[in-house]
Chains A and B, each alone.
Chain A
Amino acid sequence: MKTKDNFSAEHLLYLKKRKRDDLTVAAARISLAVGFLALWELLFQVGAIDGFIFSSPSRIAKSLVNLAKTGELFMHAGITLFETLSGFVIATAAGTLAALALWWNEKLRKILDPYIVVLNSLPKIALGPVIIIWFGSGLKSIVVMTVLITVIVTTITMLGGFTATDGNKIFLLRSLGAGKMQILTKLVIPSALPTFISMLKINVGLSWIGSIMGEYLVSRAGIGYLIVYGGQVFKLDLVYAATLVLCLLATGMYALVSLTEKLTVGKK
């Protein structure tokens, strides 16, 4: 392959075009956001939309600054983040372990199969009242809710990843005299790594759904609580501000998972 110093003219042209394309995409992205916010603000300023219902970027910003000044913002965001992360970690660990157990024991897998199907199809939010009675109306219930929503999907996804291991490779290991534990550690787990990463990505979304839904049901604090409260007292600036914070937190968490993916897949 040719290196930087002796590229052909055609290749330089190609590189230039690629750079230009990248710049166009970035510029379009930024102007889309800026244009949207500017239009929104403008419509509000000229009185074309009702600020009480639709708010405006400047009002949202003001509301955010106020929340930050009193420290409420960080308290609420912290609580929701804690609920989401603990639900995410518990569900991911428990679901993966359950999938491992089901992979290990085929009998168990057969026996439990219909139950897993039922649990998966059940809308977990229906269990809300029961969860509140069992775990109280607080943080614990919300974490349980998050775990319930996430754990079944995790189990099913990971079990799918484990059982999809190439049969010929298992055969090869068995011909070398490998036991089940060696097949698991040398082959099944490494080959399920891509499934694990995509499961993590799905779980980011699911655990935010879990924690926000939980807060809608029971909470006295958190981003979900802010949204519900803002809606009830018609402080829509607050609703939009809280939603924005939620967007940022969720995107940040997703970006962290993507980074993990890059690091693990990059190393192979």
Chain B
Amino acid sequence: MNTLLTLDKVGLVYHSPSGETQAIKDMSFEVNEGEFTAVIGPSGCGKSTLLSVIAGLIRPSEGSVKIREREGGGSGELGYMLQRDELFPWRTIRKNVVLPLEIKRRKTRVNVEYALSLLEKYGLKEFTDHYPDQLSGGMRQRVALIRTLAAKPELLLLDEPFSALDYQTRLSVCEDVFRIIRKENKTALLVTHDVSEAVSVADRVLLLSPRPAKIRKEYLLDFGRDTTPLKRRNDPRFRDWFELMWRDLNYENKR
């Protein structure tokens, strides 16, 4: 398998008038193509910071980030999905979904058709000309994923993308997002503080320490590539993994 993302001894220090905060320290890991990796850690440990560094929005204080062999991370080939959908309320769903193409100046007919075909494929076609406020929270987050996929990114960065949804919706959106990512054969890196979410989607989970974030443990999950989140939740192994990680996470928290 090819390596898509490489972090080598990455460190990040925030500077502010009141002092400096070491958010990430000496972090190295790789993400392979087609892999779904989840990063869990206590809140405030530096998970969002990690994604920003990978996306090239913050330059690391130390170490390097490489995507394929390109140095420095970069935005061209990345798709970011945030806690809330961040759809633009004055744009229709169609126009929201093609936004990345506009920004990257790649709004060709073929690319627009690809984006719209995703809407159709994942059951949102009838809402193409609706405005975001006419859709439910779950549908909006699905649209947000399709917007993320529209520019065909190599790597998806997901920052707690389900945490703003209620429990029922969260399970079903999580299921859909997992299926879409698998079907489109994408590489994804999800950060969350919700252990059950990590266990239900990932092939591999990295456990971070409290700030400054460091990788403390790595778990290779054995559910199989195509076992969806809902099936996993019904699998007896789910509880074992959950308890193991939960214990490790809380142990880390107490230190």
Contact = CB atoms under 8 A, between A and B. Distances in A.
Interface of A: 166, 168-169, 171-178, 182, 186-187, 190-191, 193, 268
Interface string B242-253: 000000000000
15 contacts: A166-B86, A169-B86, A171-B57, A172-B82, A175-B75, A175-B78, A176-B103, A176-B104, A177-B75, A177-B76, A177-B104, A191-B88, A191-B90, A193-B90, A268-B131
Interface in B74-92: 75-76, 78, 80, 82, 84, 86, 88-90
A172 B86 contact: yes
If over half of B's interface residues share one DSSP class (helix, strand or loop), that class is named, otherwise mixed; here it is loop
Contacts of A169: 86, 88
A111 B132 CA distance: 39
Contact of A173 (B76, B78, B103): B103
B86 A176 contact: no
A186 B102 contact: yes
A168 B75 contact: no
Nearest to A173: B103
Contacts of A176: 75, 80, 99-100, 103-104, 151
B5 interface: no
Nearest to A177: B75
Nearest to B92: A268
Given A166-B86, A268-B90, A172 B80 contact: yes
A185 to B, nearest CB: 10
B67 interface: no
B40 interface: no
Given A175-B78, A176-B151, A177-B75, A168 B86 contact: yes
A187 B88 contact: yes
Contacts of A187: 88
Which among B78, B89, B103, B151 has the greatest number of chain A C-beta atoms within 10 A? Answer: B103
B231 to A, nearest CB: 32
Contact of A175 (B55, B102, B131): B55
A246 to B, nearest CB: 36
Contacts of B89: 268
B11 to A, nearest CB: 22
B90 A186 contact: no
Contact of B103 (A171, A177, A193): A177
A182 B100 CA distance: 11
A254 B102 CA distance: 37
Nearest to A174: B57
B96 to A, nearest CB: 11
B75 A174 contact: yes
A174 B99 CA distance: 12
